Amino acid sequence: MKYYIIAGEASGDLHAANLMKALLAKDPQANFRFWGGDRMQAEGGTLVKHYKDLAFMGFLEVLLNLRTILKNISFCKKDISEFKPDILIFVDYPGFNMRIAKWAKQQGIPTHYYISPQIWAWKENRIKAIKRDVDAMYVILPFEKDFYEKKHQYRVHFVGHPLLDAIAARKEVSEEVFKRENGLDERPIIALLPGSRKQEIAKMLSVMLSVVGSYHQYQFVIAGAPSLGYDFYKQFIKEENVHFVSGKTYDLLSNAHAALVTSGTATLETALFRVPEVVCYRGNWISYQIAKRVISLEYISLVNLIMDAPVVTELIQGDLNTRNLKTELNKLLNPDYREKLLNNYEALREKLGKEGASERTAQAIYTSLQNKGHYDRS
């Protein structure tokens, strides 16, 4: 079978790669063509465009790059037409993917969506387009199933969270080996996860690094995005007590004592590795003002959204400053505070269900293909 997959971000690359692996187990002759990243490429097939060339964050940034985005959409449609896939699989990245889904549905191409657009946060009116253009939706957060089925009468598959698969599949690295291989000493590690896009890293990393001088008893390690080299990061590093690893985020988290994390999938990854964290977010001022008016959520981090409670502290926009970061980091280093937070992480883990999201999604997709792309909504 021929599969065309579109993932536009680092997290999508990870989850799509695991889905491809699961599909290959069921369909050894699978022919993949995709937009994604290095992890997808490692599973085989043809990479059309890398996500590092697609990632624009925030309302203003999207407007400023609108011509590029529209050119990419046009190119994507042409590429799909020439490939003639048996199925089109979207992985998150809704602004782009929903436009392609509308077109693909008109072409009669089966459309399956893995990792739902977060319409429960904003743009809830997208439900009309989803009902019209998406043949099958696979959701990964427990509350999303009720949102779609009870509120909008649209049947979905809750497959569990693919991060559980990704974490379970990794090869563990001991603290001793990790520190030795990355030139670290014996001090506990505070991990810095500033994001995967240049725009957000530029906004986040300087303020994260502003606390380094107050914590000489710890060593700080930046989790570098696989698509960006050290040359980009070094412009922000002014202190000696700062180290850098690239493409080793899970190894870093598994050996970290605490973490400062940019809002996004990484907040959930950090919690699943049982690392006490502070969630950080600072966007373009105009983009933030727009977002504040259109997004109707009490929290921004996945941890708090899933738990529906302020489990981890969120420092947003003006609240993200050196003084507040130090206050919150001091809490993370307090044994009593840590114990309470780790107990909440256990409850979070239970809510997410069992491992096997990639396998369950691959099975549903493959079964639908045996039925010529039809998705049973009964």
pLDDT digits (tens, 9 = 90+) for 32-60: 999 999 999 999 999 999 988 775 555 55
Element (H, E) at 258: strand 258-262
Provide the whole-model pTM: 0.80
Of 300, 308, 246, which is closest to residue 278 (Cα–Cα)? 300
Residue 223, classified by CB atoms within 10 Å of its CB into exposed (0-12), middle (13-18) or buried (19+), is: buried
Which pairing describes strands 219-224 and 189-193: parallel, antiparallel, or unpaired?
Answer: parallel
Q: Is 226 in contact with 247 (CB distance < 8 Å)?
A: yes
Reading the block at residue 64, the tokens are 């400023």
Quote the pLDDT of residue 196. Answer: 84
Per the listing, tokens 């490939």 go with 83
> What is the side-by-side order of every strand in the sheet holding 242-246?
242-246, 219-224, 189-193, 258-262, 277-281, 313-316
Rounded to the nearest integer, the mean pLDDT of the chain is 90
Q: What is the DSSP letter of 335?
A: H
Q: Is the dihedral of CA 73, 78, 82, 86 positive or negative?
A: positive
Of 285, 290, 254, which is closest to residue 272 (Cα–Cα)? 254
- State pLDDT tens for residues 115-145: 999 898 778 889 999 999 999 999 999 899 9
- State pLDDT tens for residues 150-203: 999 999 999 999 999 889 988 999 999 999 999 999 999 999 999 988 888 988
Mean local confidence (pLDDT), 204-222: 96
Of 217, 225, 275, 219, which is closest to residue 245 (Cα–Cα)? 225
Reading the block at residue 261, the tokens are 């994390």
Per the listing, tokens 């008893």 go with 217
Q: CA-to-CA distance for 144 and 71, rounded, in angstroms?
A: 32
- State pLDDT tens for residues 55-100: 555 555 556 667 777 889 999 999 999 999 999 999 988 889 999 9
Helix (H, G, I), strand (E, B) or coil at 186: coil
Q: What is the DSSP letter of 7?
A: E
Q: CA-to-CA distance for 337 and 327, rounded, in angstroms?
A: 13
Q: Is 113 in contact with 97 (CB distance < 8 Å)?
A: yes
Buried-exposed string 244-276: b where 16+ CB fall within 10 A, e elsewhere: bbeebbbbbbbbbbbbbbbbbbbbbbbbbbebb
Output helix, strand, coil percentages for the chain, rounded to the nearest 5. 50, 15, 30
Q: CA-to-CA distance for 110 and 15, rounded, in angstroms?
A: 20
Helix (H, G, I), strand (E, B) or coil at 140: coil
Cα–Cα separations (whole angstroms), residue 78 to 14, 84, 107, 267, 316: 26, 10, 12, 36, 40
Domains and CATH numbers, the chain: 2-160+356-370 (3.40.50.2000), 173-351 (3.40.50.2000)
Quote the pLDDT of residue 218. Answer: 98
Quote the pLDDT of residue 82. Answer: 98
Cα Rg for the chain, rounded, in angstroms?
Answer: 21
Q: Is 48 in contact with 7 (CB distance < 8 Å)?
A: no
Of 309, 311, 298, which is closest to residue 344 (Cα–Cα)? 311
